[in-house]
């Protein structure tokens, strides 16, 4: 039996029950065979990025983040857009990845849960920052999924079969990238 490919799920939102968390909880619910998803929950605990602290020994939350990224085969991001760009807390997470090599050459994709006509600023900033980290954006796996509250089940995941299938396809694409 082969080792499952690990996809780290990164939410850009600190709000419990956000649309972004819903997308990633759905990813956990529809994880295809041969893939294991891990939900990163340390966003709120990361210290503000300071280049002086980006040295050994790293602050423990930063070391844990980098370790989680290093242990993953791919990353799936779902982030809101605030004021036309990434939320500050998520940009802070990404800033902590620039000085490390864990994300370099790692396949990354995002699912946008933004309403139609929104979210492009966050996506553009995400693409720019990921370029600095050396991550490989898997374009075919970067998709939009509508998240209406009426489509969320008691488990916090989407109930819409089409959205669930699309998210499962994203995971399959990410997990199979380069193999």
Q: Write the DSSP symbol of residue 150.
A: G
Tens of pLDDT, residues 26-61: 999 999 999 999 999 999 999 999 999 999 999 999
Q: At residue 1, does pLDDT exceed 70? A: no
127 vs 1, higher pLDDT: 127
Give tens-digit pLDDT for 83-111: 999 999 999 999 999 999 999 999 999 99
First-to-last CA distance in the chain?
16
Spatial distance between the Cα atoms of 11 and 79, rounded to a whole number of angstroms? 6
Alpha helices in 77-160 (DSSP H): 88-98, 120-133
Closest by Cα among 149, 164, 151 to 111: 164
SS3 158: strand
Where does the pLDDT of residue 115 fall: very low under 50, low under 70, confident under 90, or very high at 90 and above? confident
Are 158 and 152 contacting, i.e. CB atoms less than 8 angstroms apart? yes
The whole-number pLDDT of residue 118 equals 86
**pLDDT score recorded for residue 117:** 82
pLDDT band at 166 (very low <50, low <70, confident <90, very high): very high
pTM of the model as a whole: 0.96
């Amino acid at each position: 039996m082969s080792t499952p490919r690990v996809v780290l799920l990164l939410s850009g939102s600190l709000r419990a029950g956000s649309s972004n968390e819903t997308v990633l909880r759905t990813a956990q619910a529809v994880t295809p065979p041969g893939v294991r998803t891990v939900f990163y929950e340390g966003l709120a605990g990361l210290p503000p990025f300071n280049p002086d602290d980006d040295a050994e020994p790293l602050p423990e939350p930063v070391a844990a983040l980098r370790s989680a990224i290093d242990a993953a085969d791919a990353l799936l991001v779902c982030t809101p857009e605030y004021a036309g760009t990434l939320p500050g807390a998520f940009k802070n997470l990404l800033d902590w990845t620039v000085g490390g090599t864990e994300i370099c050459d790692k396949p990354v994709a995002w699912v946008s849960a933004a309403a139609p006509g929104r979210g492009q600023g966050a996506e553009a900033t995400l693409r720019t920052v990921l370029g600095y980290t050396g991550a490989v954006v898997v374009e075919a796996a970067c998709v939009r999924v509508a998240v209406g509250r009426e489509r969320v089940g008691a488990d916090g995941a989407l109930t819409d079969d089409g959205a669930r299938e699309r998210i499962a396809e994203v995971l399959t694409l990410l997990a199979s990238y380069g193999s």
